Amino acid sequence: MTNREGFAVQARRPAMYVLGALLMLSASGAALAGPKNGVIGVISGGNPELGKTDAKTMCIVCHGADGISPVKGFPDLAGQWPQYLLKELHDFASKKRDDPLAKGTMIDAVKTIHGNKEMEDLVAFFGSLAPPKPKPVPTDAKEKALWSAGKAIYYGGVRATDVPACEACHSATGAGIPPEFPRLAGQDKTYLVEQLTYFHDGTRANDPNGIMRDVAGRLDKQEILALATFIPTLSGGNPTTQLPHPSDTDSGD
């Protein structure tokens, strides 16, 4: 029995949540929907060109003209699943997502967006952009140790505390599974640490069925830091394409 197979037996409770969410989403046809016409950024009703115009006045200071944030702690939006971004905008508007970062920025910023159509244009624009490139695997001994620990958690979970493998929802390459499970590959490390901590503490509570609160609540600070060190180095390949498992093909170790 491999480590991954052994973990699948151990991580019963979180795995049930993950499986339940995936079944619920796939039943609606949303979870496994691939890019339309090969373009990830297409969303029904969204116009990327109009979104680009709106983004210039609303978004680029924090998220960058190319969707790559110039500010540490703010997420890169380029190449993110539009369905996920649209959900988050609605959660900001309703204050369902009101973590500390949201309270200081997005809850006010979303008030300047005029209706769902403008939201769809914005998310279509950011989804159409080239996603962030994977960050290099660290060479510093301390950072490399964190990277290796994060890799083990991402693909194998934490058996002792029943933490499931992150790839179950975010895919082996970190590309995510729309609409609920976002792309993580190449994401800003500081942002990842903050959001995992918010889920851990329960200060971010807009996750479907409480999955992230349950999972992150089982992580300690060192494990959160390890994941946030590893995840930005993921390639982010299309989750609808069969790819070799990164743990078998990468040369990071």
* Residue 213 pLDDT > 90: yes
Q: Assign 214 a pLDDT band (cuts: 50, 70, 90).
A: very high
How high is the pLDDT of residue 180?
A: 84
Rounded CA separation 133/68 (Å): 10
Q: Which domains does the chain have, with CATH numbers?
A: 3-31+134-249 (1.10.760.10), 48-128 (1.10.760.10)
List, as residue ranges, the binding site.
Answer: 59, 62-63, 106, 166, 169-170, 212
Rounded CA separation 227/101 (Å): 20
Question: What percentage of the chain reaches a pLDDT higher than 90?
Answer: 72
How high is the pLDDT of residue 43?
A: 56
**Mean pLDDT for the stretch of residues 238-247:** 45
List, as residue ranges, the binding site for heme c.
Answer: 59, 62-63, 106, 166, 169-170, 212
* Residue 10 pLDDT > 80: no
How high is the pLDDT of residue 236?
A: 94
Rounded CA separation 144/229 (Å): 9
Task: Check residues 244 and 216 and name the one with the higher pLDDT.
Answer: 216
* Residue 242 pLDDT > 50: no
**First-to-final CA distance of the chain:** 22
How high is the pLDDT of residue 179?
A: 80
Could you tell me which of 99, 100, 95 has the C-alpha nearest to residue 110? 95
Q: Could you report the per-residue pLDDT of 124-164, keeping only the tens digit for each?
A: 999 999 999 999 999 999 999 999 999 999 999 999 999 99
How high is the pLDDT of residue 45?
A: 72
Rounded CA separation 134/45 (Å): 30
Proportion of the chain in helix, strand, coil states, percent, rounded to 5: 55, 0, 40
How high is the pLDDT of residue 44?
A: 60
Q: Assign 71 a pLDDT band (cuts: 50, 70, 90).
A: very high
Question: What percentage of the chain reaches a pLDDT higher than 70?
Answer: 76
CB 251 within 8 A of CB 189: no
